[in-house]
Amino acid sequence: MKKLYPVVFALLLASALHAQEPCEDTVYAYVHADTVYLHHDGAYYNCCALIDFQMDINDSVIDIMERETFPQGPCYCYCCFNLMVPIIGLQSG
């Protein structure tokens, strides 16, 4: 029975390492004229998802939420996406 422990531990370790996200998650923004371009590179979502953005602007705070939608249903895999949403028509300041 003692010989089984290293095998079980190795299998659990391998599955835990495999379950980690394979992409680097980075969020950044830049401004050009009256538009802010918000990027989310390495977003880890279901491969068949379409990503919707919901935006709320209150005074000087902009909240942006990403949401997975599945018009054709989800897949059995996850992928890395590079997402970008422009925020157009902002006033300076």
pLDDT tens digits for the chain (93 residues)? Answer: 444 444 333 333 333 334 455 789 999 999 998 899 999 999 999 999 999 999 998 888 889 999 999 999 999 999 999 999 999 988 876
* Among candidate residues 80, 87, 90, the one with its CA nearest the CA of residue 54: 87
* Residue 92 pLDDT: 76
* Residue 47 pLDDT: 94
Question: 68 Cβ partners below 8 Å, 6+ apart?
Answer: 45, 46, 49, 50, 51
The conformation of residue 7, written as its DSSP 8-state character, comes to H
* Residue 65 pLDDT: 95
* Residue 86 pLDDT: 94
* Residue 16 pLDDT: 38
Retrieve residue 13's tokens.
């370790």
Retrieve residue 74's tokens.
């989800």
3-state secondary structure of 48: coil
